[in-house]
Chains A and B, each alone.
Chain A
Amino acid sequence: MTGTIIEVEGLYHHYGDVAAVNGISFSVIEGEIFSFLGPNGAGKSTAINILITLLRIQQGMATVAGYNVQTDPQKVRNSIGIVFQDVTLDRDMTCREILEFHGRLYRMPSAERKQRIDELLTLVQLDAKRDVRTKHLSGGMKRRLEIARGLMTRPKVLFLDEPTIGLDPQTRMRMWDYIKAVNEEGTTIFLTTHYMDEADHLSDRISIIDHGRIIVTGTPYELKNTLGEDLIYLETDDLPGTRAALLAMDQVKELNEKSRGIVAMLNGDGTKILPQIIENLAGRRIRVNVANLKKPSMDDVFLHFTGRELRDEGAEKASSAVIRAGRR
């Protein structure tokens, strides 16, 4: 049985004059991994905070697991698990106590609580750390413990707000494996991230969100295919001639000029089209100096739809600090 498990219709949220969420509508299908991909400040966390009932709805409608977040917040809370953006573990409690506390908050019966704690500590491979205080855990272990906590009450939907932020590449990959394993057990996952590769690797469907609006939604494959199947970058000794030659080819969908070369978005398999292009250009006596074939990445997709690079807040702050320092 598959239906929608999250329904959002016309959601707005303002902080003073600033619209953090500016009219979004979407639905999440039961059993999938759904991602909000967007830069920091795009409105991802505000949207998630409304869905997990931490923020009151200002305008619009949202249901989670069949319950309205505005009129039935208690039932929504009982149906969801949450992994928050920053680590929210009491440094001075042990792994077992963290899960015990969570189970008690949700009024799980004692026997079920004990059993679930054992199961989950095994799942996230923290058995050996059971009685260790969380301040002694590594970043990856903390995150795994938080995922275990999110799963404590067997939620229908697990919300993961930037789950791998600040983790090293190996740990991130392992987190992805855990997230996939949890999803395969039947838990719907709602993920926010500003990592393109993460959204690409994990999601069944992605919504790209920026400035509080959803720009486009689709499977990673669909999103990347809107840019054509493959991309070819060429540098030649005659760019205008190259341009004309490429536009004449059926296999080329769209051109994008760069400072020293041209990017062609293709309709078909680039490995076959690239030799044809080189042959075609050779026929016109145009020499190819550089050729690069690549599959479109989520970065390309994001750039295409938002017209800007993903930046993180840290980088922005750092650069403005440099400017300020420069003015002194």
Chain B
Amino acid sequence: MNTGFLTIYWRDMIRFFRFKTLLISSLVQPALWMAFFGIAMSANFNRLTSEIPSIPGVPSVDYLTYMAAGVIAMTTLFTSLFGGIVLLFDKNWGLMREIFASPLPRNHIIFGIALSGMTKTFIQAFIIMVFAIFLGAAFFAGFTAAETILSIFGILLFVGVFSLGFLFLSAAISISLESPEGLQGIITLLTMPIFFASNALYPIDAFPPVLQAISIVNPLSHLVSGIRYFAIGDNFQAIGIHYTATSMDIAFSFLLLILFAALMFALAWWRFRKATVT
């Protein structure tokens, strides 16, 4: 088997751990989201929803626990969308010529970058989980040790497949563009609707129909559903809304993320075959 993608992965990991400011900021930033946005919003939401009568017999979770899943998803989204930017820099600084003139098959460049991006999202997801629990999020409440490990595995599986999709997209955009500013613009344009038309920070039940339709096909919503299923459970209430999920629902979400990743890979592959670097 050609393991050329590991070469790309190896180099990107060297760079990740070498730039200490980048490394530390990428690890601290999601924790800060939890610490500031999470605590502030959960104080508000808990006050607002304290009047709502709780549904009897359904375990209730507070807002911090509810949004922690959203923060994991959001961080994964941002990191993945920016994960391909190294390709744009490599192209602009001429480094891509060495790779394109080598025998390495081009799809291995995509795989290598996607793998390193996925590794980064795993590290971040793990840190957020630990920090969220430290702040008081009721993740894995009442789970046995075996169930907890299985759930973490499930979360990483969802995070991994989701990040692959957006890393492929990021690679496709990066290899097609000339300027980092352009990439920045496109990514900002993409993150707004993806992030806010999702169930990451609030329920989608009260959305107008169009927004609701968007959020239902939004991969981010499916990632968040997956994380909540594994971290909180298949039957809980938060902010006055009753959440249930069958394993079929979760399998469907997972398949949707796989489909999205496959489509984005096809897009990236097409862009890479078209790309000329001189």
Contacts and interface: CB of A to CB of B under 8 A. Distances in A.
Interface in B3-24: 4, 6-7, 10-11, 14-15, 18-19
B14 A54 contact: no
Contact of B101 (A54, A89, A92, A93): A54
Interface residues of B, number: 24
Contact of A55 (B14, B93, B102, B278): B278
Interface string A42-61: 00010001001111100000
Nearest to B6: A104
B15 A105 contact: no
Given A92-B15, A92-B18, A97-B14, A102 B98 contact: yes
Contact of A105 (B18, B94, B104): B104
A104 B103 contact: no
Given A97-B14, A106-B102, A88 B278 contact: no
A119 interface: no
Contact of B100 (A54, A89, A97): A54
A53 B230 CA distance: 49
Interface residues of A, number: 27
Contact of B95 (A53, A88, A107): A88
Contacts of A87: 94
Contacts of A92: 15, 18-19
A321 B170 CA distance: 39
B29 interface: no
Given A104-B10, A107-B4, A78 B103 contact: yes
A84 B97 contact: yes
Given A88-B93, A105-B7, 16 more contacts: A49-B278, A54-B276, A54-B278, A55-B276, A86-B94, A88-B95, A89-B95, A90-B15, A101-B7, A101-B11, A104-B4, A104-B7, A104-B10, A105-B99, A105-B104, A107-B103
Interface of B: 2, 4, 6-7, 10-11, 14-15, 18-19, 93-95, 97-104, 276-278
Interface of A: 45, 49, 52-56, 74, 77-78, 82, 84, 86-90, 92-93, 97, 101-102, 104-107, 149
